[in-house]
Structure 1
Amino acid sequence: MPASLRSPWAWLPPAVALALVAGILATDTNRALFLWLNHGGQAVGDPVWFHLTMLGDGAVALALVLPWIRRAPHLFWAALLAGVVAGLWTQVTKEFIDVPRPLSVLASDAFHHAGPAYRRVSFPSGHAATVFALAGIWAMGAQGRRLWRGLLLVLASLVGLSRIMVGVHWPLDILWGMLGGWLGAWAGLALQARWRGPWPTAGPAGRVAGAVLMAVAASLVVSRHIGIPAVLPAQRLLGVVCLAWGTWEMGCLSRAPPARAVRLRWWLGRIGLVRLVQRVQRRRGDG
């Protein structure tokens, strides 16, 4: 179940994003902020930003979901639902709002650009939406581990910033993508929690989803779709690790109890033996 709306884990990230959006629009500093961040970020170096931006790729994100399939099935399904919502948020917005990228607006020597030369449909950032959808799933769906949840939010923010550092997105693109990703995470967790029983991944649906994600992980080993040669070794290593881990988890799932047995145990546990006996007694009139 998603965190309560009173919890800072639920409302603080989108509130910060909305406040920044309002501030940038009110002061008309989208371009100035882009240039300031873009120039300042070069002290870190392109290799760091390249590898951070890789983590916001959709295929990479799906591969990273695969290891959750057995250990955290509720987060696994919530993450897939979050991906659908965040993807719709991004693609529908891009369909109606075609904001030119920095490369189409600024002189090439006015800012630092690295990687693919994108020129159109800048708003919003799909990478930011993707990484904040995954970060939101763990921040709102996991219990405890505040340090890890905080570190995930920092990592997601750095992935979003990497899109500015490589010169392909404006700050407003990142913030709007962040909002879409967080909305996707909340929606995914809410939809998963709507059905209060377990969402087993040992059944046919789980196996199909796992097989699709294994194919995605395998594609990372050979694909060059990210368009940044410097990240190919890390991309391939991540694909191999997720594929091997996913194969192990799927193998463990095949030895798990059937999904019907899982649901039956859950319902019996939910009803409880005492409540079951009480109902029988009431029907017999001897309770």
Structure 2
Amino acid sequence: MALATRPSVRPAYGSSWVWLPPAAALALLALLLAAGGNQPVFLALNHAGHALGSLFWLHLTMFGDGAVALALVLPLIRRWPHCFWAALVAAVFAALWTQVTKQVIDLPRPLAALAADQFYQAGPAYRRVSFPSGHAAAAFAMAGIWVMGVTNSGPLRALVLVLGALVSLSRIMLGVHWPADILWGMLGGWLGAWLGLAIHARWGWRTSGIAGMLAGLLLAAVAAALLVSGHLGIPAVLPAQRAVGLVCLLWGGWEMARMLPRLQIGRRTDG
């Protein structure tokens, strides 16, 4: 018996919702570099964002952490299997996108390039391998999966893009990334989401088999780790981090438990 899942939203590849976000990121990056605006734009945004306070941006930036983003995928395992698998593909792609680029381009962080009194900085004091932003890549991978793979609602898509942009911008507001880092990360995350959804549309992997359950257990371990980990290095967000981990673990565990009576091994089912 096939698992009851919510129908996927097939990306309309000619839709502006699919191509406009990465095209805008690429165009802004080209304009930024051509005008030599990386540092001036960083300072302007950093100072403007300080009006909301560092605590606001520290909590937003938490959602761009790779472990937090993966934990948020777990509750999708039963109802949105196409998004579940697409998110895992996007995570691998985004990790390669950021880490390979960092190995090629060792751009100093703002703390290493500017005087400390020129801008506001909070959280871990990173100084090296600035380009690109892994947080922006993770935020836009998740945003891309939602926009291209879940909803057809224009207002909801716009809201998701705004949230993804705010999580990405938090890296500038906290003084740890340049605008170019953010834009390149956004581009990689969106491409990863597109690739993940396209691969699932081609192969139709299910989550109701042994591979899906193993992937779910792995993400459950990631969510559980958030309950005890201090890897973010931001004590102020630990309560929120643990709350996210607990919610994802309980919700995802419930979804996986509901799948067990229908677990199919060795026989393909829908979803």
Q: Determine if the TM-score, normalized by the shorter chain, exceeds 0.5.
A: yes
2:225 to 193, 197, 219: 219
Q: Does 1:59 align with 2:67?
A: yes
Q: Deviations over 1:192-222 (max 9, x none)?
A: 1112xx4221211011100000000000000
Distance verdict in 2 for CA 1:20–1:2, change over 3 Å = farther
2:48 equivalent in structure 1: 40
Secondary structure of the residue aligned to 2:86 is helix
Runs of 4+ in 1 over 3 A off after TM superposition: 259-262
1:25 equivalent in structure 2: 33
Larger relative helix fraction:
1
Contact 2:209–2:263 (8 Å) recurs in 1:
no
Q: Tell me the C-alpha RMSD between the 2 structures.
A: 1.3
Identity of aligned residues (%): 63
Secondary structure of the residue aligned to 1:119 is coil
Contact 2:210–2:264 (8 Å) recurs in 1:
no
Q: 1:213, 1:147 → 2: CA distance?
A: 30
Deviation at 1:141, TM superposition (A): 1.0
Correspondence list, 1:1-287, <5 A: 3-195=11-203, 198-256=204-262, 258=264, 263=269
Contact 1:41–1:165 (8 Å) recurs in 2:
yes
Deviation at 1:15, TM superposition (A): 1.1
Q: 1:192, 1:43 → 2: CA distance?
A: 42
Question: Structure 1: which amino acid aligns with 2:79?
Answer: R
Bigger radius of gyration, 1 or 2? Answer: 1
Contact 1:131–1:159 (8 Å) recurs in 2:
yes
Q: Deviations over 1:72-108 (max 9, x none)?
A: 0011001100111111000000011100000000000
Question: Structure 2: which amino acid aligns with 1:184?
Answer: G
Question: Structure 2: which amino acid aligns with 1:125?
Answer: S
Deviation at 1:186, TM superposition (A): 0.7
Question: Structure 2: which amino acid aligns with 1:22?
Answer: A
Contact 2:227–2:241 (8 Å) recurs in 1:
yes
Q: TM-score, normalised by structure 1?
A: 0.89
Q: 1:113, 1:143 → 2: CA distance?
A: 36
Q: Which runs of 5+ in 1 are unaligned?
A: 267-287
Q: 1:138, 1:164 → 2: CA distance?
A: 24
Q: Which runs of 5+ in 2 are unaligned?
A: 1-8
Question: Structure 2: which amino acid aligns with 1:217?
Answer: A
Question: Structure 1: which amino acid aligns with 2:252?
Answer: G
Contact 1:200–1:259 (8 Å) recurs in 2:
no
Q: TM-score, normalised by structure 2?
A: 0.94
Q: 2:17, 2:232 → 1: CA distance?
A: 31
Question: Structure 1: which amino acid aligns with 2:83?
Answer: L
Q: 1:225, 1:188 → 2: CA distance?
A: 27
